[in-house]
Chains A and B, each alone.
Chain A
Amino acid sequence: MDILSYDFMQRSLLAAVLVGITAPAIGIYLVQRRQPLMGDGIGHVAMTGVGLGFLLHASPVWMATAVSALGSVLMELIRWYGKARGDIALAMLFYGGMAGGVMFVNIAPGGSNANLSSYLFGSLSTVSPSDVTAISILAGFVVVVTLGLRRQLFAVNQDEEFARVTGLPVRALNLLTAVTAAVTVTVAMRVVGLILISALMVVPVAAAQQLTRSFAATLAIAVALGVTVTISGTVTSFYQDVPPGATIVLLTIAAFVVLTALAAPLARRRARAAAAAHPAGDPAECAIPATRGAGDKIGT
């Protein structure tokens, strides 16, 4: 295991494990509320934070955390109040964030797009000891929120209207989801890169749900898959000298394809088992109840 004799690889592998846990853990709620691309938007906004970090000689990780958290709150507010023009406002936020990042990096003394590139696509050799500290603290926050509040987040993202009537603080939980997603983006930025983060939030969840029937199992398998691909991607990147972010994402997509292929026979077996367990079956939905005429409107 000569790979572990390098300090930078120890740091990269630790960061990779934390990314593998946190990205699917928050991603599952984004998929559940049908906003799987939110991570992508936050990644764009985070670029302004990285640029500001260079310009102000501050830590790019902490600056990106602050700016993307702010951006995610703004996205959530646009979702509430934006209505029809919300999409346009979001587009401006995303591209403004990206343009801001490029601009700030280039006006920073001695800065160029080359500095930005390791944040965009991930890089193993640049994970510094202070990055590892920041990533560990932020990952801890993400795990506490996504696992500690899993019942509340499940309820809100499954059915917001019902969640409000159970007395849950729906708005606060939505804001917390957005901020947690933003924090996850900055956790993953060093290893996977800002452009590819969203893939690691969404694809493991999509792959897991090919096999599962429950939310709990989907979460467990997605996290297991996330850790597997981030570790194997990081190791591959080390030996083959390929970019880690791209390797991890391609491995995740390969896992999705394999699990989808495996899922088809599994689904058939389950359907047979279900048919055996409920032999009487339920009336087919398309049967017209005897009390109704064909022309009746059925409760719209």
Chain B
Amino acid sequence: MAKEPVIALSGVTAELGARPVLRGIDLTVGRGEVVALLGANGSGKSTAIRTIVGQVPVSDGTIELFGTPRRAFRDWARVGYVPQRTTAAGGVPATVTEIVSSGRLSRTRFGVFRKADRAAVRHALELVGMADRARDSVDALSGGQHQRVLIARALVAEPELLIMDEPMAGVDLASQEVLARTLKAQVEAGTTVLLVLHELGPLEPLIDRAVVLRDGCVLHDGPPPKALGQHALPGHDHVHPHAPAGTEPLRTGLLS
């Protein structure tokens, strides 16, 4: 590994309840790299991401962020995180600006906002093309627009590392294009990216390396699998709703 590792997982295992979800993952992401975590549903890709950010406890192995053991890591302003969209739902209305501002807290002292912080919020909203909706309630947004807001919330602290869990899930085409463009600009500026994807889609040209998981183990770590149309993607199960009940899904992906 020539480049300085930004994320380094070694032999990481994790359980959800009594069920082992990760069975010894090695994963290294170097500075400036764009790495996609791929795999079928239940392969452990979201759990892997969530161990890195400390949301899921690790039962064995080590995780380092910027060369520091994750438990001792305090410099969270260097990390931008985009969780799965379902986790962010408060019971009180909030505007786009209020949500994005919460991502800037890591750059403030005691949560006091200065001029530069407000400017950073405006800039992050411009990056994702949501500046005109700054004062709208997030409840009034479509799924794709909401996702753009969550990405602005991750970018507002100007992170060196972006960690994203299924940023394209349930996102309309127009928003997918905006997101791909935003991400491209970040990568060109030198940001390191680790993202969970269900399919490579419009981000494919940005991806340097793909790590494919199956049943909590790394199955493939290398160049992204060449796409032969959507249906040839790794782990893509052909589930036909019109097939008779009980029929095994037809597996043609790498993971079969």
- Which A residues have a C-beta under 8 Å from some C-beta of B? 28, 31-34, 36, 149-152, 154-155, 157-168, 205, 209, 212-216, 218, 274, 277-278, 282-283, 285, 287, 289-293, 295-300
Counting residue pairs across A and B whose Cβ atoms lie within 8 Å, the total is: 149
**Known pairs A166-B77, A213-B137. 20 more at Cβ < 8 A?**
A28-B92, A31-B91, A33-B91, A158-B94, A158-B102, A161-B87, A162-B153, A167-B74, A168-B105, A209-B93, A213-B95, A213-B140, A214-B95, A214-B137, A282-B145, A282-B175, A291-B173, A293-B230, A295-B240, A298-B170
Nearest 6 pairs of A and B residues by beta carbon: A299-B169, A167-B76, A155-B102, A213-B137, A165-B81, A299-B198
Residues of B within 8 A of A32 (CB): 90-92
B174 touches which one: A163, A205, A283, A296 (CB < 8 A)? A283
A215 lies within 8 A of B93 (CB) = yes
B99 lies within 8 A of A149 (CB) = no
Residues of B within 8 A of A291 (CB): 173, 201, 230
A209 lies within 8 A of B92 (CB) = yes
Residues of B within 8 A of A215 (CB): 92-95, 98
A289–B168 alpha-carbon span in the complex (Å): 12
Residues of A within 8 A of B192 (CB): none
Given contacts A167-B76, A282-B174, contact A300 B169 (CB under 8 A): yes
Residues of A within 8 A of B163 (CB): 165
Taking the complex as formed, is B124 at the interface, i.e. its CB lies under 8 A from any CB of chain A?
no
- Which B residues have a C-beta under 8 Å from some C-beta of A? 41, 50, 53-55, 74-77, 79, 81, 83, 87-88, 90-95, 98-99, 101-103, 105-106, 108, 111, 113, 132, 135-137, 140, 142-145, 153, 157, 163, 166, 168-170, 172-175, 198-199, 201, 230, 237-242
B169 lies within 8 A of A166 (CB) = no
B137 lies within 8 A of A289 (CB) = no
B102 lies within 8 A of A162 (CB) = yes
Given contacts A167-B106, A282-B142, contact A162 B111 (CB under 8 A): no
Residues of A within 8 A of B98 (CB): 154, 214-216
Chain A proximity of B87: nearest CB distance (Å): 5
A297–B237 alpha-carbon span in the complex (Å): 9
A290–B83 alpha-carbon span in the complex (Å): 26
Residues of B within 8 A of A167 (CB): 74-77, 106
A277–B94 alpha-carbon span in the complex (Å): 20
A150–B113 alpha-carbon span in the complex (Å): 12
